[in-house]
Structure 1
């Protein structure tokens, strides 16, 4: 009986198993389309949930998969929301996928943590690293130009130059206006050692959310996260570009005929047939420039196992400058690793080693001389140089390059090690030690050359170097930051709470040692100070600095039902740079995800809608570490009882109560996505005020300060603005998709409290100042005479107000007598704009059709002015002029009411030299082709893309100079003198061929 029962049970089990097996293998067919366009989607992944069974849709969007009647199918496709769909005994399914809004779902880095963008209450912009890597640039921030609202980027064609970033306007004059950079937790002011191909994402904290970084965050924060490995087989990638750079929009200077015609008015006694001249024309820019080779190669390996992941990359960059003898080479190695020691403990490390070799040029001397050098002097003939200085002109620019060798070697180690411990799923202890170490060596060698016929085609002049001179300097700096934080992150029903607390310790130490010697041999292998003459003008110097910071950080983020958001942070900073060491900085914000409300569920317009606002206080301690410390100068000679003695004296007058600048900022913004998430955007209004800003107060000379100035906290500035950013993503069909993005920012900069009304003058031209920073005006506003035209007759010149700068004459500029005192002097100056743009932004588009891709990026600004300082600077009557001025200046045969007949050293700064700085530039254009995967399988290649790219293809501008983007002025002359075009490195245009290869 038992045996029969056992047999019956086995039969029933087999029957059930067979029927179940057949049920599991029932075919399910269907078609997947775009929910908006009804176009079929190719390559959609279809998987049976909880199993390894899966397939993909074909060219018609169709699929067939074996699945049981009660199974759930999961559909995933890049750019679309993942969909889970129950089979429910159906054999045929119709599937429609919705395009997803990546903008509000993406994860952004907010400082000591991450958040989904939809949960962020501050103004945070994020750019994918792949977008930055598309452009053939050395530094990632160059590729950021025009991509983010509220962020203005100024870049240069000079190799190894660091771009200038202004986030929501200029907020400081003496304490630095550039943002803080954070690279994988390492705080730095320079990211030129970072390979753009290694960047995973770049996030910009634009509002008071940067207060989490305390005294480092007043000018905004740029957070860079580099790539890491993923579990799985090793992936090898090779990315490369090879191309060339050339001078873009070269400035056209007068040729021989135009120049000699000008000399008849400027210097009638000049003998254009003198022995130093020649009958041809020298284009000095062509003489000293070249078509420059550039190449960039990057190899990376990424992968990992069950407990560890790794990412290793190596990069080589070679960027020749378009000015001869200029160039830069860099080699970088990076390694990022993560090891899960246990389920609760993780170890991670990131390390970057870079070595850069740069051959620099004296930008101020070379470019100024290119502009002014006479075109009737030969550059070089039979190995001998044309003697421009003997012509009463500047030095020969080519000789300046050939007889100088300025070489800098940069070595840098940057990285961190970290431990993360999770005793429970909601609690994380994090400890990270971050370091940035630099070793730099500089050698500048001036070759000997004499002012005779051995050097020049004709001897004489004042350009010579009687003795060779070697200058050597070694710099090293060491910075470390130790972060220790604990984070609690948990969801309680409808509530989500994240709490962060911890402390940060920072130390920075730097040293330099330099010396110089004459008569060092010209052989480069013998460029050592010990081989020079120590008895003739020998010089040695050393110095350095040390400062520390100690900080306590905390932050709370709270969300209710995913639609009501609150956040707040507090940081207490202590800095050794001030006598008053400690300060408190904070931010708080709120957000409302309106689209999650029940009354919005049936709306047919907004897919996502969030209102947010924030307010906070930030600091800025980016000043010299000894600015408040009174020091004595020793070994100064003085007489006592008719005997010469050496003593010490306090020369500088300093403010012992100096404190950091503080920035308070209010921001209100709206994030949205409409039209089935195809159009997304954000709009922000901000009001940023800087108080206790450092400035110089003039002192009476009787007090004995060498500079007759006193630095103290006595200024206030404001920046108010509106930002708008829009992105459109759409897929027309399975083969064609495209995206368009645009952003525009309006900013109004204003000085609202300065020195009790004592203005700051800057920007020297021919012993006159060009800018004035004062209450009610933007920082660095032009303050010049108002030119009203050109004197046409002698009678008109005779009856005009007396000009204290130069005599009134026919063909000379005439000016407005603003104060009506009958004379033209410094009291008649007026404000005439500034270099700070009122509007700036950019737009871009990308098109993908089958295997082709085309993308373009535009950038520009409006509402700013440029001072053509080259035109106004006249060191000699024999200086050259611009070709456009030569053809349009006043002459008796062709009178002009706009351009004077000559410009001399006595011509004062005026509105005549001020031009529009508005421009629109095609920043990048790239055309690529990705080979079909079927062609690559045999070679085990997963991806191969070939592309052509160009940088700075064309610029639409009104400025008569080479470029309206004046990068070097801000660096060389300071913020209050920015916008004076005098010595800019030539703007470059790049053409390159590249490939992306992946195994």
Structure 2
């Protein structure tokens, strides 16, 4: 064995650009683990062998290697790493250098998705891009649910302002189809936010574009097999806590007597409630009724049940598995991947399950120097199986279930005072959705710099749903089964859609001595879509054991629909830059849509953008700033998101109207409604002002953008016609809105020795105002000119009346809701000074005592990211929040007020115990009452809620094994990780609400709970 002589080598590391010392540089002896870090003055000292090679590395600089060759002093000068600015970004029908972008484009790379190993693409990208909003819909956290997507606020008043999502050049039929994609398959995502960057995609891109590129075999060395999994343990983030049954009974009794009624619970039942709470083992949950034929429920029951605890599981286990094969050899690269995701829901009874299967295949072959062939196919299957019981009604009813009702009766039968019998035995709803996306590209490069790409894209989606509503029974005390649902039925729904799009893109680029740089493209796109659906239902099944249309004997009920539409467009783009200092881009698209009449079908939509990288000027002397780029863009895009063929008269057939006599009325049609022959494109115009900054060798990167987007010629109501005409006027292009806002992002990435770290902040805001709308009376219940979208009109609250003197000397509220006002009722402010509290004419000109008290639009959406890595260990966390938002839960909301119009619509949570009484005059809630409760429950400042929040969306810790261990295991990569989702929330919202999910099909808070989770997984490459 020969031991090489060791010697001490010293030196200084400096910036080659300005000679400044660089602290914190890693100096490693190549091929060993021996290393040091330069000090504050850039100096270092290391013991190495005489012929060692030193590696100098630091974020923002190019790694440099120097051989010692027996020297005792080795100085190193590092050059700036411009790879960040040279990064290639996917844009419309092509790519551009990140440093040369002039439009509003943000990117998400695979590293972001890998650091947040989640099963849903929407979860993975939430908060990653300024201006890209993903919000929880009315389905909440139900299995298979998707989020609402928007870019830079509200697009239009019809709610059709979602962005276009394109995956591997194939548009998705709906943004929610992002859920069909396996996050593990994604290589990069670009978000196009202004007209100049998205206009080239035409009418479907009016409100932005999300470009998704999936992984290919390009860049892979040899052949690689990758397997990853993720086991997820999920539980509800939060659910309301019900009062115990005794507090509930007393609360309902008080609410009844405060309204002038009799107590709901007798002393006998109150006694049984106390007995059950004291000894639930030996006390039955209820008793038979007087004649022994039914179990007592509601007013006669005495259990102690928190229905939220009963109806939701504490934890469920979900799992995801991904397997991919990729390679690159002999001018052919490929990537074939498959995944399986199993996501059971958290319902305790009548399990709800969601499963997703995906298959993705991409092959590219460079046949020769001038011809390349690309083919890809993506298949996704989604299966959702849940009880057929209406999910909205289910969520609505949980809060209204009385704690005194038991889960299981003394004879073992489930209580009919709950949804449990319906969930377990009321039938199932099963949906199976299949989507297929395929693309074929033929790329010709006949001469240098010229590329001709012909493509054909195809998409097919099918959906098959069966829904069985079965008879439901419970067993009563006398042993008899009693039907609580008398009827049964079966429904089958089937739909399909087909999308075909041929494309031709011709592009050319040329650089003259790297001074004058040109590129341009011209293209053609045709889109054809057809769809159809068929629904068949039938009542009176002969047996619930074999549910089908053929086993039902009731009347047939069959409906179908079908349609088709097409678009066609010619588009072009020209780019020029001078030394990558002065940047210019112009786009144009000439579009047509079959949804408009022939004379209104075609329109031209141009855009232009410019950029100026001041840091490339000779006079720029601030060495630490690597890029200081100013950008401006302006342009317009057409929007055709309206119903098909509004310009064609249609005569509906009627078959179901009653007619005198026994013969029935023959089928007939009615006079068609008025048509809109002149209806045409909405026009979306955007002005975008941007600043991009990179400093400290690109370790610091910042972008700020201010935008103004106007949607003109929107579809709105036409002038009212005389009622004698018998029909209403069709919509017209007569409305406009304007959105103003900003996007901001900043990131710092650096290392201290062996510790790498990064931190980033994303912030955005958007406010939309109505600039034109036909509302001559300025009614508050519809849009009106000058309105800020999201406005909440309501009353100003002065507090709660404390005594009769305050009522007698206060404002006259009798015209408001009449009746007798009492201490504990709400005291409203007389804003218009007429001495009476009322709504006026409910117009903006005469709103009575109403005023704008808040706004429901989320403002100042932000996220904070931070990460560390050290010798194979990696840690990251991601916070997401909303800085300002007012939540109006509506009038007579049982989640807010508890006692509302009557006992059947009311709720009783622990928070509802803070009501006014003579012993609790500082209470939050008014006195509870079932009679005239609405007088205290108008939309008002007192019960407007602060919906701002910040949530720890993701925290992840992982370890990637070192190369020497991988070699021993004959692996290319092995990483283990643990991840948490939604683990912590900071908010002022009442505890019964999730601040991220305040909606619901049946009212605020009545939503499938979001879930927090802890997951374990691995990623291994062979």
Per the TM superposition, whether the score is higher than 0.5 is yes
1:221 alignment partner, one of 203, 206, 209: 209
> Who is 1:17 aligned against?
none
What is aligned with 1:950? Answer: 980
Q: Find the partner of 1:813 among 813, 822, 826.
A: 826
The alignment status of 1:376 with 2:404, answered yes or no, reads: yes
Q: Is the 8 A contact 2:912 2:925 kept in 1?
A: no
Residue 788, structure 1, aligned to residue 826, structure 2: no
**Maintained 8 Å contact 1:962/1:986:** no
Q: 1:750 is matched with which residue?
A: 769
Change (3 A) 1:567 1:730: same
**In 1, Cα distance between the equivalents of 2:121 and 2:874?**
22
Structure 1 partner of 2:118: 137
Q: Determine if the alignment matches structure 1 residue 433 to structure 2 residue 456.
A: yes
Change beyond 3 A, Cα 1:345–1:967: farther
Q: 2:687 aligns with which of 666, 684, 690?
A: 666
Structure 1 residue 166 and structure 2 residue 147: aligned?
A: no
What is the CA–CA distance in structure 2 between the aligned matches of 1:456 and 1:875, rounded to whole Å? 35
Alpha-carbon separation, structure 1, partners of 2:956 and 2:304 = 38
- State which of 218, 225, 235 in structure 2 corresponds to 1:246: 235
Which residue is equivalent to 1:271?
A: 265
Partner of 2:918: 892
| Structure-2 residue corresponding to 1:719 | 739
**Alignment partners' CA distance in 2, 1:618 and 1:179:** 13
Relative to structure 1, the CA distance from residue 375 to residue 760 in structure 2 (aligned partners, 3 Å threshold; closer, same or farther) is: farther
Residue 532 of structure 1 is matched in structure 2 by 552
Q: Secondary structure at the match of 1:204?
A: strand
Q: Distance in 2 between matches of 1:140 and 1:32?
A: 46
Deviations for 1:795-849, whole angstroms, at most 9, x for unmatched residues? 4335533144353333222323344455433323322222212211111000001
**1:317 is matched with which residue?**
341
User: Any idea what the Cα deviations from partners look like across 1:468-505, whole Å, max 9, x if unmatched?
Assistant: 21111001111122211100111122111111101100
Which residue does 1:589 correspond to in 2? 609
Match of 1:202 in 2: 189
Structure 1 residues 72-471: aligned runs within 5 Å = 80-82=60-62, 94-98=75-79, 100=81, 103-155=84-136, 156-174=140-158, 176-188=160-172, 189=174, 190-208=177-195, 209-230=197-218, 232-268=221-257, 269=262, 270-271=264-265, 273=269, 275-277=296-298, 278-290=301-313, 291-324=315-348, 325-360=351-386, 362-381=390-409, 382-388=411-417, 396=419, 399-400=422-423, 402-450=425-473, 453=475, 464-471=484-491
Tell me which residue corresponds to 1:939: 969
Q: 1:923 to 1:704 in 2, by over 3 A?
A: farther
Say if 2:51 and 2:70, in contact at 8 Å, map to a contact too. no
Whole-angstrom CA distance in 2 between matches of 1:954 and 1:996: 27
- Residues 32 and 40, structure 1, Cα contact 8 Å, conserved in 2: no
Residue of structure 1 aligned with 2:787, choices 766, 777, 799? 777
Query: CA 1:141 to 1:31, structure 2 compared with 1: closer, same or farther past 3 Å?
Result: farther
How far did 1:425 drift? Answer: 1.9
SS of 1:556 mapped into structure 2: strand
2:636 pairs with 1:613: no
Q: Are residues 812 and 402 of structure 1, via their aligned partners in 2, closer, same or farther at CA, if it must alter by over 3 Å?
A: farther
Deviation per residue, 1:97-155 (Å, 9 max, x gap):
45636543321111100001111101110011231243343331221122211122213
Q: C-alpha distance in 1, partners of 2:478/2:511?
A: 81
Count residues with an aligned counterpart.
Answer: 928
Q: Secondary structure at the match of 2:399?
A: helix
Match of 2:807 in 1: 797
> In the superposition, relative to structure 1, how do residues 180 and 968 fare at CA in structure 2: closer, same or farther (>3 Å)?
farther
8 Å contact 1:147–1:841 — kept in the other structure? no
Checking the alignment, whether the CA contact within 8 Å between 2:948 and 2:995 is kept in structure 1 is no
User: How far apart in 2 are the matches of 1:611 and 1:698?
Assistant: 46
Residue 6 of structure 1: aligned partner: none
Note closer, same or farther for the CA distance 1:224–1:633 as it changes in structure 2 (3 Å cut): same
Q: Structure 1 residues 804 and 678, CA, compared in 2 at 3 Å: closer, same or farther?
A: same
C-alpha distance in 2 between matches for 1:401 and 1:825: 48
- Tell me if 1:625 matches 2:644: yes
The alignment partner of 1:265 has SS state of helix
- After superposition, the Cα gap between the structure-2 partners of 1:293 and 1:146, relative to the gap in structure 1 and judged at 3 Å, is same
Could you tell me how far apart the structure 1 residues matched to 2:95 and 2:56 are?
25
Distance 1:868 1:910 in 2: 8
1: CA distance, partners of 2:458 / 2:707: 34
Deviation string for 1:641-695 (max 9, x for gaps)? 9996542113544433222321111111111111232211111111111112223
- Alpha-carbon separation, structure 2, partners of 1:606 and 1:473: 61
Q: TM-score with structure 1 length normalisation?
A: 0.86
Structure 2 unpaired stretches of 5+: 1-8, 16-20, 38-45, 270-288, 290-295, 841-847
Evaluate the alpha carbon distance shift between residue 256 and residue 175 of structure 1 in structure 2; reply closer, same or farther with a 3 A threshold: closer
- What corresponds to 2:861 in structure 1? 840
| 1:527 partner SS | coil
Partner Cα separation in structure 1 for residue 550 and residue 391 of structure 2: 29
Any idea what SS the aligned residue of 2:181 has?
Answer: coil
Task: Provide the rounded CA distance (Å) in 1 between the counterparts of 2:523 and 2:103.
Answer: 21
- Distance 1:258-1:629 versus aligned 2 partners, 3 A rule: farther
| Greater CA drift, 617-626 or 406-415 | 617-626
CA apart distance, 1:561:
1.2
Distance (Å, rounded) in 2 between the aligned partners of 1:628 and 1:433: 31
SS in 2 for 1:906: helix
CA contact (8 A) 2:828 2:837 kept: yes
| 1:824 has 2:837 as partner | yes
Q: What SS does structure 2 have at the residue aligned with 1:890? A: coil
| In structure 1, distance between residues paired with 2:70 and 2:446 | 46
Corresponding position: 1:603 with 2:627:
no
Equivalent-residue separation in structure 1 for 2:664 and 2:492 (angstroms): 38
| Cα separation, partners in 2 of 1:245 and 1:568, compared to 1, 3 Å | same
1:310 Cα deviation after fit: 0.4
Give the stretch that moved more between structures: 625-634 or 914-923.
625-634
How far, CA to CA, are the matches of 2:481 and 2:851 in structure 1?
Answer: 47
Q: Pick from 566, 570, 586 the counterpart of residue 552 of structure 1.
A: 570
CA distance in 1, matches of 2:479, 2:882: 47
State the 1:632 CA deviation: 1.3
Deviations 1:599-624 (A, max 9, x none): 11x32331221111101102222222
Give me the whole-angstrom Cα distance separating, in 2, the residues matched to 1:429 and 1:44: 49
> What secondary structure, in the 3-state scheme, does the structure 1 residue paired with 2:199 have?
helix
